[in-house]
Structure 1
């Protein structure tokens, strides 16, 4: 999923205001699906996260670690989005309110999946 989202962030038409896509920072006016503020950095982070997920999906323990660790990263990004002024230079990723809510959902969902699944696989 992360690979798809990262790639879609580079597609005009799927990403509104594609001409306003910037390398990083709050000045990037591109909106994935017309809602989520994206930049080249933001898209590359999603692509990297997707590659890491594929690499760690081959066994239970690394997959669980990916889910728990990735969930923690997304919860930190959610906190970052709450703390940073979305219109300031400190908003380097960039994020908007829709991104913040998505990061919260991803953080909680990934963490829960990592903590609540795979225990039988650990015993085998």
Structure 2
């Protein structure tokens, strides 16, 4: 039996748009930072870690000041990324709004006194510049990689 209609075959699901891959990379980085922050060795001065505040002298990778709250925030950002991973729109918003949050955190870290009670996260200079870099990468990724693909029909 022959017809002139083309045969329609199941096409594998799209492997993901670039914005989804960017969100996945950021998600993995946040989850890794959150987990490593709780591992002695990856975090120096581990026993001095506090729940929150600048009195925590624990340093992730010997550089980034962390606390239990800081690690939990990283884990929550990672979990949020994992939850929206399947949706290009969700990934766009995750990267855009997450980037905006990290830009605000960068500004907050620049303007507060690192030794004051207002430094509840805690933040040090490497944290501040990492937050700036994350903000730029996340916002730029959201805006540049979210371009819709046009296909010929």
**TM (normalized to structure 2)?**
0.78
CA–CA distance in structure 2, aligned partners of residues 63 and 57 of structure 1: 6
- 2:109 aligned partner: 81
- 2:80 aligned partner: 52
- 1:117 aligned partner: 145
- 2:18 aligned partner: none
2:127 to 61, 78, 99: 99
CA–CA distance in structure 2, aligned partners of residues 118 and 92 of structure 1: 34
CA–CA distance in structure 2, aligned partners of residues 117 and 85 of structure 1: 36
Deviation at 1:113, TM superposition (A): 0.2
Unpaired stretches in structure 2, ≥5 consecutive residues: 1-28
RMSD across aligned C-alpha pairs, in angstroms? Answer: 1.1
Deviation at 1:118, TM superposition (A): 2.1
2:56 to 10, 21, 28: 28
| SS of alignment partner, residue 89 of structure 1 | coil
Deviation at 1:16, TM superposition (A): 0.3
CA–CA distance in structure 1, aligned partners of residues 118 and 99 of structure 2: 23
Unpaired stretches in structure 1, ≥5 consecutive residues: none
**TM (normalized to structure 1)?**
0.96
Whose Rg is larger?
A: 2
CA–CA distance in structure 2, aligned partners of residues 24 and 54 of structure 1: 25
* Aligned pairs (5 A) from 1:61-76: 61-76=89-104
CA–CA distance in structure 2, aligned partners of residues 118 and 81 of structure 1: 29
| SS of alignment partner, residue 44 of structure 1 | helix
Number of aligned residues: 123
